[in-house]
Chain A
Amino acid sequence: MIDFDEEIKKFKPYTEVDDAESAIYNNDIPDLTELINAILESKDKKSKR
């Protein structure tokens, strides 16, 4: 059974053109390779201490 009030909460607004610039800059998330490198580097730093 569909509950309208629960369903409507799942609808999110679209990003508008005015906010496009921040959307593009915020899209700059690291990919898997960068993440793994970052993990390995922090592991190296800890082992050196």
Chain B
Amino acid sequence: MRCYECGAELNSSDICPKCGADVSYYKKAKLASIQFYNLGLARAEKRELTSAIESLKLAVILDRDNIDAHNLLGLVYHEVGDIVSALSEWVISNNIVKDKNIAGKYIKEVQDNPGRFEEIANSVKNYNISLKYAKEKNFDLANIQLKKVIDKNPKLLRAYELLALIYMRNKEYVRAKKLLIAVQKIDRSNPLAQKYLNEIDFRTQKKKKKEVREEEKKAVLDNKPLSGNDVIIPKSTYREPSNGAITIINVLVGVLIGAALVWFLIIPAKNRGNSEEYNSSIQQYSEKLASSNSELENLEGELKEVKADRDSLNEKIKQLSSDSGSNKLLISLIKSADLFIANDPNAAAEALIDIDVSQLPGDDAKKLYNTISGAVSLNAANSFYDQGMAAFYTGDFAKAIENLNKAYKLDKTKVDAVYNIAKSYVALQDTDNAKKFYKIITDEFKESAYVAEAQNFLDSHN
């Protein structure tokens, strides 16, 4: 243990041997932090994650430099689906101690899987949207969204809890119970899951008791003794004559008559019906075949026309130089369209980045650009922003700049991207480029919260 004032190694005394500072409460706080960390660790090992979080939070409040507590807290947050809180703890831990700190490894693992990180980030966003729907009582929409969230991020516990609550509201107790049991498999000490399970048990027992009471009531009515209004019907004394031979003869005659009916009446009618059905089917298939042939001829005709158009366009493209300005833009636009059709919206957006729509030849090209841009740009901007910030947090400022630039080019309202590009350049000690981006903030985002900081930087680096 080291002194908080001078960093000297402490001994058993409550006074620092080097600077004389009173370290009694400091030592107590550190020791208490270690105890809470150990408690948190024990709980985490038993998968009592909610309780573990409470203990570990206390550990870091008592001693902010307890990196083991930060690392474990981040891990537990990650396990319950709260990725932002997890990253916060790891970044703080990494800033306290960079060397041989497992937090660096955790951050790198997140950074090395940008696709999965984006999926988790989107699931968090969609959970928040579902919560909004639920609070607005749009339960069907909330239900649909929450199922998708759970499918993409099976550890997002609050999604399970919210969906279970909605099911309980709709009295779908079996479904709710299944979700809550899944929560308890991840987090044994989840208090909300236990509370809801107790409620479900209470309601289902109440229902069973009601059913038992109704059955008892029915049994009582059935066994009720006779009263003056009841009518007794005497049993009939008529009996059928029982002679074995006559019975057998009757049965045989019945079988013979039945067989005759089937042979002379039913089979011929069935045969007639079958042949009529066959004839009708043949006619239907003939008609369908004729119509399909006709359709095939039409399609072949259309295909010929499309092929001719394509060949003609290809010919025109060959005739024109591919290096000239507007043709290069068209080629990028077509590439973007191909990627969009292939369901790769981020790549489609990336292909649009360097196209200046005003330079595109013709209204059709501009219309195509606007259609694709409208469908992909905003989502792609968010995706590039997330990737840029992930790189920023791990200190990969060059990659952060690359992705944040793409985000800004796709969404010119993204002041956060501009701000973080500037900060990345500051981290790389590239003052000129940092000034360039701070200037964009002061010129184009006058209302933003970053303006004062941007202006200070520009004034101090003139």
Chain A residues within CB distance 8 Å of chain B: 1-2, 4, 7-8, 11, 13-21, 23-24, 27, 29-34, 36-37
Contact = CB atoms under 8 A, between A and B. Distances in A.
B196 interface: yes
B135 interface: yes
A8 B416 CA distance: 32
B389 A8 contact: no
B277 interface: no
Given A16-B121, A16-B125, A33-B26, A4 B389 contact: no
Give the interface size class of chain B: 35 or more
A32 to B, nearest CB: 4
A11 B131 contact: yes
B101 interface: no
Given A16-B121, A20-B87, A2 B416 contact: no
Interface of B: 4, 25-26, 29, 60-65, 82-85, 87-88, 91-92, 121, 124-125, 127-128, 131-132, 134-135, 158, 161-162, 165, 168-169, 195-196, 199, 382, 385-386, 389, 393, 416, 420
Contacts of B91: 24
Nearest to B169: A4
Given A14-B84, A20-B88, 14 more contacts: A2-B195, A11-B158, A11-B162, A14-B124, A14-B128, A14-B158, A15-B84, A17-B84, A18-B389, A20-B84, A20-B87, A24-B91, A32-B29, A37-B4
Contacts of B83: 17
B88 A23 contact: yes
Contacts of A23: 84-85, 88
Contact of A16 (B4, B61, B84): B84
A27 B92 contact: yes
Query: Main SS of the interface on chain B?
Result: helix
A29 to B, nearest CB: 8
B169 A18 contact: no
A21 B26 CA distance: 30
